[in-house]
Amino acid sequence: MRILVVEDDELIGTAIARALHDAAYVADWVVDAPSARGALLGREHDAVLLDLNLPHGDGLSILRDLRKRDADIPVLIMTARDGVDDRIEGLDSGADDYLVKPFNLDEMLARLRAATRKLGHHPDATLSSGKLSLDPRTLVAVYNNVECRLSGREFAVLRALLSRPGTILSRSELENRVYGWNEQVDSNAVEYLIHTIRKKIGHSAIRNIRGVGWMVDRDESHVR
């Protein structure tokens, strides 16, 4: 899942992005109101983590404008404004949840999962095809009865492939599913992640279509 993080504080933004990456989300991080507005026009994201005190604008204004044209995308406010009136205003403006800084990052992730489930997204649902399965709750992959825990990046790669079994995904497609906009991506980053996944669960778990990309085999009799 792709999450837009709107936060101007570098330390807080870095911590949130790292927590999202470790939980196998893709985080696109912007630091001011105009960048947030531009990002939301693309409708690329599954949820938004929104600070209220932003350079060149206010988070509540962004939220109200977003709700005028998109009623569905989950928005979690993150702010130091902790008054009851502030919370009421944020929720009445269209927020799905309201986190007061400082907050626990594990709680943030739990609230994010809850918000996305309301839209019918099931981030905790196991993905499987044939002898390969992936548990988002634990980041554990199983292939041919070999079980191992993946890193957030490894999980994101395998989830992208398992979400479309039998379909070849190119390097650029996988990069887009794994890395945020403002991240530096080495030219061999995807190849390295594929290598580490194969080393953990078995080389045959992921097929390399030379010069094209990678795929996992489709199980025609049982695909979830």
Mean pLDDT of the chain: 90
At 117 the pLDDT is 83
Mean local confidence (pLDDT), 4-26: 93
At 184 the pLDDT is 81
200 token code pair: 């953990």
- For residue 10, pLDDT beyond 90: yes
- For residue 59, pLDDT beyond 80: yes
* Residue 207 CB partners (closer than 8 Å, separation 6+): 214, 215, 216, 217
Mean local confidence (pLDDT), 52-60: 93
- For residue 70, pLDDT beyond 80: no
User: DSSP labels for the chain?
Assistant: -EEEEE---HHHHHHHHHHHHHTT-EEEEE-SHHHHHHHHHTT--SEEEEESEETTEEHHHHHHHHHHH-S-S-EEEEES--SHHHHHHHHHTT-SEEEESS--HHHHHHHHHHHHHTTT--TTPPEEETTEEEETTTTEEEETTEEEEPPHHHHHHHHHHHTSTT--B-HHHHHHHHS-TT----TTHHHHHHHHHHHHH-GGGSEEETTTEEE----TT-B-
Rounded-to-integer distance, Cα 162 and Cα 206, Å:
10
Higher per-residue pLDDT: 42 or 154:
154
Confidence tier at 120 by pLDDT (50, 70, 90): low
- For residue 224, pLDDT beyond 50: no
- For residue 216, pLDDT beyond 60: yes
The reported pTM is 0.77
Contacts of residues 33-41 at CB distance under 8 Å and 24 or more positions apart, as own/partner, are: 33/57, 33/58, 33/59, 33/61, 33/62, 35/6, 36/4, 36/6, 36/62, 37/62, 37/65, 39/4, 39/6, 40/4, 40/66, 40/70
Taken in order of first residue, the domains within the chain and their CATH numbers are: 2-117 (3.40.50.2300), 127-215 (1.10.10.10)
Mean local confidence (pLDDT), 118-135: 79
